Amino acid sequence: MGDPPRHTAVRRLVHHGFKPGTVAAFEPAIRRIIAANVDRLPESGGFDLVGEFATVVPLEVIMHVTGFPLSEHAKLRRWIADETVLFAGTAALGESELIAHGRSFGEAVEYLRELVEIRRADPGDDLMSLMIKGDPDGHALSVDEIVIQTLGLVSAGWETTGNAITNIVSALLQQPSRWTALARGEIAIGQVVAEGLRFDTSVLGLFRTATRETTVGDVTFKEGDRLFLFYSSANHDTDHFEAPEEFRLDRTNAKQHLSFGHGIHNCIGAPLARLELEIALELLAARYPGLRLEAEDQAPEYKPFSQFKGPTTLRVVA
């Protein structure tokens, strides 16, 4: 399923859920979810943007989009956290930990198989229902394909989007005038998101396998070689981006970043992620026009993941 022809067929079916019209239909609900979470933040004083907002919002959004009952929030959060540690963690896991995380992943798979049948009997407007329905030509995914695609979308839609919110807000607050300009509507939110994703991407890169012998520059990879493609490195390529280590809101080619990958395996949920980031920044800036870092010299401690980048906390003051 990782490469054509099956990958093409699966992606075509999943893509229905991320067409412009479909994503636009989700916008009112996404805005309500984010607004409710902004309203729950303190009116004044300090708070942790990661724990109180950035890790909460994306999970609620992706649950709504994919069709997970919100009552299963705590259970799903545990499953996805365990899955992320299992497949993207940097720490060496002992046998007991591997077994525990593996069982958790198995629980998630079994739950989703049951949920697929529930949605089949009573479909909604969510992405899982769209995948079950298939396309007008009668092509559809198997139950296990729907399960794996849903788990992948929830995992990616939670961790990476939450980290992106935090990374972009942190970059803006390093120079307070940037946040002020955003709150005053002096800069386009789409441009802020594009440069934020380029400057401090939440997805460092992903593993790939060479399907044939390939030479890149002066390095030759043999068929079967395992590679790690650093999107973060590409986003700081001096041959493509002028002064890439600087966060520039007037950068004309910021949208050429590779934070969503490239080619047939690029992030299928990119339109949803961009919309979510734009709404989150818009509503945060409206609520907190004077937001600032609690300590200007706070050194972030990053989550222990090999493929994702995001701080464990970000203390801010309203």
Which pLDDT belongs to residue 86?
A: 74
Residue 210 lies in a domain: no
Residue 260 lies in a domain: no
Which pLDDT belongs to residue 306?
A: 81
Residue 58 lies in a domain: yes
How many angstroms from the chain centroid is the CA of residue 120? 27
Which pLDDT belongs to residue 89?
A: 64
Which pLDDT belongs to residue 288?
A: 98
Residue 75 lies in a domain: yes
- State the residue range of the domain holding 285: 6-194+269-317
- Domain of 10, CATH number, reads 1.10.630.10
Whether the CA torsion 19, 155, 293, 296 is positive or negative: it is negative
Q: How many helices and strands, by DSSP H and E, does the chain display? A: 12, 7
Burial of 305 (0-12, 13-18, 19+ CB in 10 A): buried
Q: Checking DSSP bridges between strand 205-209 and strand 226-230, what pairing results, if any? A: antiparallel
Residue 208 lies in a domain: no
Residue 32 lies in a domain: yes
Residues of the chain where predicted confidence (pLDDT) is lower than 70: 1, 88-92, 136
**What's the pTM?**
0.91
Residue 232 lies in a domain: no
N residues, the chain: 318
Tally of domains in the chain: 1
How far is CA 122 from each of CA 116, 141, 147, rounded to the nearest angstrom? 10, 17, 17
